Amino acid sequence: MTPAPLLEARSLTKQFGSLKANDAVDLVVAPGEIHALLGENGAGKSTLVKMLYGALQPTSGSIIWKGEEVHLSDPSQARKLGIGMVFQHFSLFDSLSVVENIALALPKGTKMGPLAKQVEEVSREYGLPLKASSLVADLSVGERQRIEIVRCLLQNPELIIMDEPTSVLTPQEADLLFETLERLSKEGRSILYISHRLEEVQKMCDTATVLRHGKLVAHCNPAEETAASLARLMVGSSVKAVERTKTSLDDAPIRLKLNKLSLPPSGPFAVPLDNISLEVRGGEVVAIAGVAGNGQSELFDALSGERDTAADAVTINEVESGHKGVTARRRLGAAFVPEERLGHAAVPDLPLSENVILTRHGSDKPLKTGFFLQRNHAGELGLRISEAFDVRKGDPDPNAGSLSGGNLQKFVVGREIDRGPSVLIVSQPTWGVDAGAASLIRQALLDLARQGAAVVVISQDLDEIFEVADRIAVINKGELSAAEPVEEMSLEKIGLLMGGVHGMEDNTDAPTTASAGEQ
């Protein structure tokens, strides 16, 4: 007999003004099931799980828990019922210990001694070992995620909602997480699993629900689908494959050179950079892999000119640039796309045209006549970028903060590529974007490189790295491994380097890179 559902959403609808973020969505999660929730950016996944967790209230429809309708006024009520959630972005205090962070989510008066013992017992039992007294600032990203999962498990949930749980993990850490999830499933706990990594959805999940533009479009068994067919369900059409062309780099100029780049930490929890050297020629894409928090943001700041270095530590187009600021480096032909879209790459409350001005006023002569800015030209640039990169927006020149994450990312990347830079540094180029947008951005990076630019991609997404890179290096604790041809790298080798294992023998075959339509 088919077991009665643990959780049901019936015609669940959430409306924000005239926008229906969820439009009569149905969802059924069975006991012990690992259930995938799929959809492109803006499909309504986050809105749906926030309603199931009590963080948002539905406009209409109902939530059924163990056969009875419930009204979840807040997350604490959801947790009391047995619904837990592990968010993509961690809510941890670096200056506190593991047990102190966990205690913050538990009732007041919880005894720290017994809790510390319980934390270590539960973490060991589920293959997520933690030391209760460890300072969070000293832990890897994978260990920090363990804290979030253990904190959730201590509340004894029957349903665990997980949002992109492997996005910050090494391949080895991801495999350990899969083992934990399988164990939880065998215990009868249900997992609602959000991920853009379709291969792991096929491998792990029993059922998938697919949303598109806020509406339910499919229920399916992922094992009976391909990654490409799942992507088609999400996007509504086939995702164009990224096209790679090989080019000879023998006579190509060295456009970016790092020479023993070292930097002290900028704060108590920052990572120092240690003796980093790298050469990138025009025409190639060099990808830098690594688990978050190992010096990626510090490296980006040093490359972009947001932090000063020794003059000869950074050379752009044969000009020593370590002492030069961001605008001076842009004038040398460099362009930069930081990880954080809002606040760093774009100002939320300014229109797209003015966000163009912010990064191009010093290097785009048509934008300035004497001391005056040419706003009409900025508006034309904004429209040109939006058209070239399929930026979908309601108004011709909306504020940056009104765009979805994927559309803003396309605009930010497009703004820099539109300049035709000879050096492009981009951090997490497709973070949180759907398959279609990811394919467009990755193709644009490859096309720019094949036109003669040196492109450096800092990314945690190994599928992305194997798709675009000519050479791959790995950053770990502020140290950079040698950049090796993509054909000589493997997931296992990269995973070991990401974990800090250097100099090992590796005889594994390099993986077959999947097309963008199969991501």
Q: What is the pLDDT of residue 333?
A: 95
Range of the domain at 477: 252-333+422-519
310 and 437 assigned to the same domain: yes
Q: How confident is the model at residue 474 (pLDDT cuts 50, 70, 90)?
A: very high
pLDDT digits (tens, 9 = 90+) for 81-133: 999 998 877 788 989 999 999 999 888 888 999 999 999 999 998 888 899 99
314 versus 46: the higher-pLDDT residue is 314
177 and 71 assigned to the same domain: yes
- Note whether residue 57 is domain-resident: yes
40 and 134 assigned to the same domain: yes
136 and 121 assigned to the same domain: yes
Is residue 373 within a helix (H) or strand (E), and if so which, with residue range? strand 372-373
Q: How confident is the model at residue 75 (pLDDT cuts 50, 70, 90)?
A: very high
pLDDT digits (tens, 9 = 90+) for 190-240: 999 998 888 889 999 999 999 998 999 999 999 999 888 988 898 887 667
- Note whether residue 163 is domain-resident: yes
Q: What is the pLDDT of residue 501?
A: 67
Q: Which of 174, 208, 235 is the last residue of a domain?
A: 235
174-198 average pLDDT score: 90
54 versus 512: the higher-pLDDT residue is 54
- Note whether residue 13 is domain-resident: yes
Q: Which of 170, 205, 235 is the last residue of a domain?
A: 235
Q: What is the pLDDT of residue 508?
A: 41
176 and 275 assigned to the same domain: no
SS3 253: coil
Contact assessment for residue 363 and residue 357, using Cβ atoms and an 8 Å cutoff: no
pLDDT at 513 over 50: no
- Note whether residue 2 is domain-resident: no
Task: Tell me the one-letter amino acid at 254.
Answer: I
- Note whether residue 240 is domain-resident: no
117 and 209 assigned to the same domain: yes
Q: What is the pLDDT of residue 19?
A: 81
Residues 6 or more apart from 218 whose CB is under 8 A from it?
Answer: 208, 209, 210, 233
346 and 467 assigned to the same domain: no
| 67 CB burial (10 A radius; 0-12, 13-18, 19+) | exposed
pLDDT at 505 over 50: no
Q: What is the pLDDT of residue 390?
A: 87
Contact assessment for residue 58 and residue 70, using Cβ atoms and an 8 Å cutoff: no
In this structure, the number of other CB atoms found within 10 A of the CB of residue 403 comes to 25
| 77 CB burial (10 A radius; 0-12, 13-18, 19+) | middle
Distance between CA atoms of residues 279 and 96, nearest Å: 40
12 and 112 assigned to the same domain: yes
Per the prediction, the chain carries an average pLDDT of 88
- Note whether residue 246 is domain-resident: no
- For strand 423-427 and strand 454-458, is the pairing parallel, antiparallel, or unpaired? parallel
Query: What's the number of domains the chain is made of?
Result: 3
- Say what the pTM is: 0.71
Q: What is the pLDDT of residue 303?
A: 97
- Note whether residue 1 is domain-resident: no
- Note whether residue 145 is domain-resident: yes
207 and 268 assigned to the same domain: no
390 and 497 assigned to the same domain: no
CATH code of the domain covering residue 436:
3.40.50.300
The helix/strand count (H/E) of the chain reads as 16, 23
pLDDT at 486 over 60: yes
188 and 323 assigned to the same domain: no
Q: What is the pLDDT of residue 28?
A: 97
Token pair of 344 as six digits: 């760093």
pLDDT at 503 over 70: no
Q: Starting from the edge strand earliest in sequence, which strands make up the sheet with 273-281, in order?
A: 273-281, 254-263, 314-316, 319-320
Q: Which of 191, 209, 235 is the last residue of a domain?
A: 235
pLDDT at 510 over 70: no
Distance between CA atoms of residues 34 and 398, nearest Å: 39
| 64 CB burial (10 A radius; 0-12, 13-18, 19+) | middle
Quick one: how far is CA 337 from the chain centroid? 14
290 and 328 assigned to the same domain: yes
pLDDT digits (tens, 9 = 90+) for 333-391: 999 999 888 888 999 999 999 999 888 876 666 666 655 667 777 888 999 999 999 88
Distance between CA atoms of residues 434 and 203, nearest Å: 20
Q: What is the pLDDT of residue 454?
A: 97
Distance between CA atoms of residues 493 and 160, nearest Å: 32
Distance between CA atoms of residues 13 and 307, nearest Å: 47
